Amino acid sequence: WVPVVGLEIHAQISSNSKLFSGSQVQFAAAPNSLVSFFDASLPGTLPVLNRRCVEAAVMTGLALNCSINKRSLFDRKHYFYADLPAGYQITQQRVPIAVNGSLSYSLCIDNKMSQMVTKTVRIKQIQLEQDSGKSLHDDTRNQTLVDLNRAGRLGLFSCFSPPFCPDMCCGEEAAAAVRELQLILQTLGSSQAVMAEGQLRVDANVSVHHPGEHYGVRTEVKNINSLRFLAKAVDYEIQRQIEELENGGTILNETRAFDSKLGCTVPMRDKEGKQDYRFMPEPNLPPLILYDAKSLPANMNHQQVVNVDWIHERLPDLPSVKRAKLVERYGILPEHSFTLLNEDGLTEFFENVVKQTQMKPKKVIGWILNDLLSYLKQHSLIVKESPVSSFLLADLLNLLEKKEISSTAAKQVLAELWKGEGKTPFEIVKEKKLELIQDQKELEQICQAVIDGQENEVMAIKAGNQKVLNKLIGLVQRETQGRSNPVLVKQLLEKKLSE
Amino acid sequence: MKYKVFYYCNFLLVFRTLKLRKNLIKWVKYKELWQRGSRFIRVTPRSGLCHLAALKGGLRFQVSAALKEGHVTPTELCQRCLSLIKSTKFLNAYITVAEETALKQAEESEKRYRRGQPLGVLDGIPIAVKDNFNTAGIETTCASNMLKGYISPYNATVVQKLLDQGAVLLGKTNLDEFAMGSGSTDGVFGPVRNPWSYSRQYKEKSVPKSCSEDEESNWVITGGSSGGSAAAVSSFTCFAALGSDTGGSTRNPAAHCGVVGLKPTYGLISRHGLIPLVNSMDVPGILTRCVDDAAVVLGSLAGHDPKDSTTIQDNFKPFELPNLTDVSKLSIGIPKEYHAPGLSSEILALWSKAADLFKNAGAKVVEVSLPHTRYSIVCYHVLCTAEVASNMARFDGLEYGHRSDMNKSTESMYAATRREGFNEVVRGRILSGNYFLLKQNYENYFIKAQKVRRLIANDFVKVFGSGVDILLTPTTLSDALPYMEFIKEDNRTRSAQDDVLTQAANMAGLPAINVPTGLSERGLPVGLQFIGRSFQEKQLLTVAKWFEKQVKFPMIQLEVKRHYHGAFQHQKSAFFS
């Protein structure tokens, strides 16, 4: 069986005002406090396109390698729903603002970071559209409350990998592609793209067919609110369809909802009948005309026009470029660059540490990815909330780099730092007496004492078993409570044993 | 020259006009008449609206001047209009009369005049607005159960502009429900009666001299859907009124009520706040007593509105109309397709006389062809109903307007709300519109209709491109029908018939104006339509003004039986806001 996965993605765009009205946009505002007459669809109100929103859409389109339509049109999509006050949504079904894009994403094989492949998914179109309001169903009182704060906000709708181009074939791929899109939107600043908060909504179209045959009937899976669930939902749906077909059943062209608790998809009851959206052109909005440097009319008010070239020049570095730059500049591994970008703020953290320390970036990355990140993960913290600032970590790594402490001691200091008591690494080192023994004579004495106490081991080493040397090094470390430089200890021991 | 003009106007008519002038009653005399409690009040402009409102001079030259010179105060003017509204209440022209706010506005205006700082020509001028324009604080009903009691929180841009220039808003005028109709007979507040039904001209010609029951059954419709606005202007209860024009809704009632009705170019005046019928064709319309007044109102309304993306970006400069003395450089086109089936011989004759009038004055008069105009009705039907289906979707009972008590489910509440809120005409258009928009029908109906619309518009482009300046056509097929006659056919049939001469201008977005031209054999007004080039309102109105001057349309001699209106009170629950 060949599975085919397509995605329809709705992203809420961060702009200060809504797509077609002057209402503010703000999170966690009191219900229905950010609603203009237009948003509530009062009779006689008309949509007025917000230039900032158009710019955000153009930026996203350029970032996703789309060709930008210099002339795009608006359509009305009709359906009755309580949180859609006008009874239709203004969208761009026929001639959207951007088409034919692509998105490259990387994916690790068998969950091994070292085995990454880069794949490309095609993007059919990006369209400007109005968001609907939010319905809150109160089942106990059998009522629905509607919050129109969201109504009329700019949404970007992008259609990935339509059934004609089978670019994705499993949940993992779908999740990786969406993750990359999230990063791009966040980099552009055009969306927070947090799935759990509904800023990014993903519907998956899934079908399976035998190689060489026509595509199978597809189902649409909705109600997916995290990347993990996206992967799960897609894989479940593929498996379900295969089993259904192998048992002689048929697949219905239906909308299914993902149940995250049960980990399966179930048919959605309220969308049973196939909807006819009765699309028609939006008569109150003239075609949206975009300009480039060449076509920009000289006498036009620049506040009134959107110049694609101007936006292109100001595009920030995209994640793929950022990653390449990290690898090049710091000599880190490509997979490390992925991890750096995947965590919001981690790249900045890393770069700050590198700036403030003499330690090589290659070594710094280990501390960031292994120690810092795993601590944050354990405590479910984001980078911004880290109790250890980049400044403190750099301080610590400097002590290590100057060989004032051992790496074992450094880990101990770090453990202290997590407590966030405001002490500097240096203070902790002093307090806990973790500094390396700088006095060579003292160290030599300790080494000698270890050699004297371990006759059997010394014999073994002299017989050629060098591995045993590590045991002696360990004993010296224990003796010095980690305050000895293992390289130095090794040299001393070897010297003494060869005497 | 003069002879020709008179000839065309028909002698009787001219005679009456002259007689009228001789017999003009002074305001004082009118007052005496009133005080004597005569059963009949003769409401000629002079008597009805005091000495200053001699019709032809209009707003700019007479009313405004009188206000400035203090011959009359805005409050007096407003009060007189309000009392006239009361005495003509049986016309059912107004749905809501905003007496209190109107008097307040008049008072403000009066203060400005006293300070010697009036806001302009419109300061203190009583106006009326069709009840499908949003007015903050005053009910906006669209003559529908759906919006009964709905008070908008904002003013339509055109309303705001009028208020900003000091106009006094008397009230909201009656219409067909959601402006869907051509008779002003299909609103939830009942039909509008044409003031000419109560004119001496009509009575002398048509009404058998018998009992008042006959009179009751003989009253004629105003046309529509802006019938309330046309009746309001025609009966002198206001000096100008706003209508809306989607397929002829301003020009048609203007023709039947003997007033000037201007439909400006699409995009010249903001639609923000006009509750839409067909967004791509709707234009706020202007109803006035003379062409000059229409130019004044147009000047105060036109121009870009940031709230309506379909308005022109360029600045609009208000203009005064010149007195045309030479029409020899004009080329008047007579589109042969407007010789439509059902065109009354009377109107045909009037039309050709008008053409002769231009020809004899030296203008070039040419027959032109607009071959696709005959598809206009069917094309309009598809486009109109499709947009109606879409525009009416917002009336679901949730955010505003009527909400049914049905609470079994949201869907059943929607269905009941819409069944209770909309009349059959609206529901019928929604149904067919949704049919045309279905996926399997979209190409065959909507797309085709759009293509035909383009062809219709292109016809005009070609004709104007060939050197024609203005098109001259009839506005209506006949004079106004008696109500009892009119309702024999359903709304759809009537709309299709009545819009036939006006609709193409909406399809093409062109400016068009009805100029009252003469009286029919039954003593009812008949008008002709001029259609101009896009955004060439000045040229259009200049020609219209010249024509108006030639034809000397007679004043209505309104004979209003006092207390007559008592019987009609049941038609409206909340007359005064």
Residue A15 lies in a domain: yes
Supply the pLDDT for residue B2: 34
Q: Are residues A413 and A452 in the same domain?
A: no
Whether the pLDDT of residue B462 is over 90: the answer is yes
**Average pLDDT in the A364-369 region?**
87
Supply the pLDDT for residue B347: 96
Q: Can you say whether the dihedral through the CA atoms of A162, A166, A171, A174 is positive or negative?
A: negative
The distance of B558 to chain A (nearest Cα, Å) reads 36
Residue B52 pLDDT level (bands cut at 50, 70, 90): very low
Which of A37, A88, A285 lies at the smallest CB-CB distance from B309? Answer: A285
Which 3 state secondary structure label does DSSP give A420?
coil
- Beta strands, E only, A231-347: 255-259, 264-267, 280-281, 288-289
Supply the pLDDT for residue B225: 95
Q: Can you say whether the dihedral through the CA atoms of A265, A269, A273, A276 is positive or negative?
A: negative
Q: Are residues A93 and A163 in the same domain?
A: yes
Distance CA B338, CA B224 (A): 20
Supply the pLDDT for residue B24: 35
Which of B274, B275, B393 lies at the smallest CB-CB distance from A86? Answer: B393
Counting every residue, how long is chain B?
A: 577
How many beta-carbon contacts under 8 Å exist across A and B?
101
Domain coverage including residue A270: 2-281
Q: Which of B184, B197, B225, B235 is catalytic?
A: B225
Distance CA A470, CA A472 (A): 5
Q: What is the interface pTM, i.e. ipTM, of the complex?
A: 0.86
Q: Are residues A475 and A404 in the same domain?
A: no
Percent of chain B beyond pLDDT 90?
A: 74
Pairwise CB contact (< 8 Å): A278 & B439? yes
Q: Which of the residue ranges A144-148, A186-190, B266-270, B280-284 would you say has the lowest mean pLDDT?
A: A144-148
Supply the pLDDT for residue A150: 66
Exposed/middle/buried for B107, CB within 10 Å: 0-12, 13-18, 19+? middle
- Cite the DSSP H helix spans in A247-383: 308-313, 319-330, 334-342, 346-356, 361-366, 373-378
**Chain B within 8 Å of A46 (Cβ-Cβ)?**
yes
**Chain B within 8 Å of A135 (Cβ-Cβ)?**
no
Residue A409 lies in a domain: yes
Supply the pLDDT for residue A302: 73
- Cite the DSSP H helix spans in B438-528: 439-442, 448-465, 483-486, 491-498, 503-508
Whether the pLDDT of residue B214 is over 90: the answer is no
In sequence order, what are the residues at sequence separation of 6 or more whose Cβ sits closer than 8 angstroms to the Cβ of residue A89?
Answer: A76, A77, A79, A129, A130, A132
Supply the pLDDT for residue A339: 84
Residue A209 lies in a domain: yes
Enumerate the residues of chain A whose CB falls inside 8 A of the CB of residue B154. Answer: 37, 42
End-of-domain residue from the set A380, A415, A432: A432
Distance CA B101, CA B576 (A): 11
Whether the pLDDT of residue B22 is over 60: the answer is no
Residue A335 lies in a domain: yes
**Chain A within 8 Å of B422 (Cβ-Cβ)?**
no
End-of-domain residue from the set A432, A455, A474: A432
| Token pair listed for B342 | 């059902």
In sequence order, what are the residues at sequence separation of 6 or more whose Cβ sits closer than 8 angstroms to the Cβ of residue A415?
Answer: none
Residue B375 pLDDT level (bands cut at 50, 70, 90): very high
* CA closest to A41 among chain B residues: B394
In sequence order, what are the residues at sequence separation of 6 or more whose Cβ sits closer than 8 angstroms to the Cβ of residue A154?
Answer: A12, A13, A15, A18, A19, A50, A53, A56, A57, A128, A129, A130, A131
Q: Are residues A105 and A192 in the same domain?
A: yes
Enumerate the residues of chain A whose CB falls inside 8 A of the CB of residue B272. Answer: 44-46
* CA closest to A281 among chain B residues: B387
| Mean predicted lDDT score pLDDT of chain B | 86
| Token pair listed for A423 | 């002490």
Q: Tell which wins on pLDDT, A223 or A289.
A: A289
Residue A305 lies in a domain: no
Residue A193 pLDDT level (bands cut at 50, 70, 90): confident
| Token pair listed for A282 | 């939006």
Residue A174 lies in a domain: yes
Q: Are residues A169 and A218 in the same domain?
A: yes
Which span out of A30-39, A108-117, A274-283, B490-499 was modeled with the highest average pLDDT?
A: A274-283
Residue A295 lies in a domain: no
The CATH number that applies at residue A463 is 1.10.10.410
**Chain B within 8 Å of A27 (Cβ-Cβ)?**
no
- The tally of domains found in chain A comes to 3
Place of tokens 């007044």: B293
For residue B251, the tally of other CB atoms under 10 A from its CB is 34
pTM of the full structure: 0.83
Q: Is B182 a catalytic residue?
A: no
Which 3 state secondary structure label does DSSP give B474?
strand
Q: What are A257's strand-pairing partners?
A: A222, A266
Q: Are residues A36 and A163 in the same domain?
A: yes
Supply the pLDDT for residue B454: 97
**Average pLDDT in the A19-36 region?**
73
Q: Tell which wins on pLDDT, A373 or B382.
A: B382
Pairwise CB contact (< 8 Å): A44 & B152? yes
Q: Which of residues 348-387 of B touch A (CB under 8 A)?
A: 386-387
Supply the pLDDT for residue A153: 63
Q: Which amino acid is it at A112?
A: K
Whether the pLDDT of residue B184 is over 70: the answer is yes
Q: Are residues A386 and A274 in the same domain?
A: no
Q: Are residues A91 and A185 in the same domain?
A: yes
Whether the pLDDT of residue B545 is over 50: the answer is yes
Which of A44, A78, A285 lies at the smallest CB-CB distance from B272? Answer: A44
Residue A492 lies in a domain: yes
Q: Tell which wins on pLDDT, B340 or B248.
A: B248
The distance of B64 to chain A (nearest Cα, Å) reads 32
Q: Tell which wins on pLDDT, B3 or B147.
A: B147
Pairwise CB contact (< 8 Å): A49 & B309? yes
**Average pLDDT in the A475-498 region?**
79
Residue A93 pLDDT level (bands cut at 50, 70, 90): confident
Q: Which of B64, B182, B249, B577 is catalytic?
A: B249
Residue A156 pLDDT level (bands cut at 50, 70, 90): low
Residue A116 pLDDT level (bands cut at 50, 70, 90): confident
What single DSSP character describes residue A21? S
Q: Which of B64, B87, B89, B130 is catalytic?
A: B130
Pairwise CB contact (< 8 Å): B308 & A46? yes
Q: Are B527 and B514 in contact (CB under 8 A)?
A: yes
Question: pLDDT tens across A41-60, in order?
Answer: 999 999 988 888 888 889 99
End-of-domain residue from the set A432, A454, A473: A432
Q: Is B280 a catalytic residue?
A: no
Place of tokens 């200049």: B542
Q: Is B130 a catalytic residue?
A: yes
**Average pLDDT in the B403-430 region?**
93
Question: pLDDT tens across B107-144, in order?
Answer: 999 999 999 999 989 999 999 999 999 999 999 999 99
If phi > 0 it is left, if psi is from -120 to 50 it is alpha, else beta; for residue A354 that is alpha
Q: Are residues A152 and A259 in the same domain?
A: yes
Q: Are A289 and A70 in contact (CB under 8 A)?
A: yes
Q: Tell which wins on pLDDT, B32 or A224.
A: A224
Question: pLDDT tens across A294-320, in order?
Answer: 888 877 777 778 899 999 999 998 988
Residue A110 pLDDT level (bands cut at 50, 70, 90): low
The distance of B195 to chain A (nearest Cα, Å) reads 30
Q: Which amino acid is it at B435?
A: Y
In sequence order, what are the residues at sequence separation of 6 or more whose Cβ sits closer than 8 angstroms to the Cβ of residue B111?
Answer: none
Q: Are residues A271 and A176 in the same domain?
A: yes
**Average pLDDT in the B314-338 region?**
92
Q: Are residues A334 and A423 in the same domain?
A: yes
The distance of B402 to chain A (nearest Cα, Å) reads 13
**Average pLDDT in the A246-268 region?**
87
Q: Are residues A415 and A471 in the same domain?
A: no
Angle at the Cα of B306 from the Cα atoms of B303 and B307, rounded to 5 degrees: 105
The distance of A336 to chain B (nearest Cα, Å) reads 50
Whether the pLDDT of residue B399 is over 70: the answer is yes
The distance of B104 to chain A (nearest Cα, Å) reads 26
Pairwise CB contact (< 8 Å): B394 & A284? no
Which span out of A102-116, A244-258, A403-417, A431-445 was modeled with the highest average pLDDT?
A: A244-258
Distance CA B97, CA B576 (A): 5
Which of B271, B307, B390 lies at the smallest CB-CB distance from A76? Answer: B390
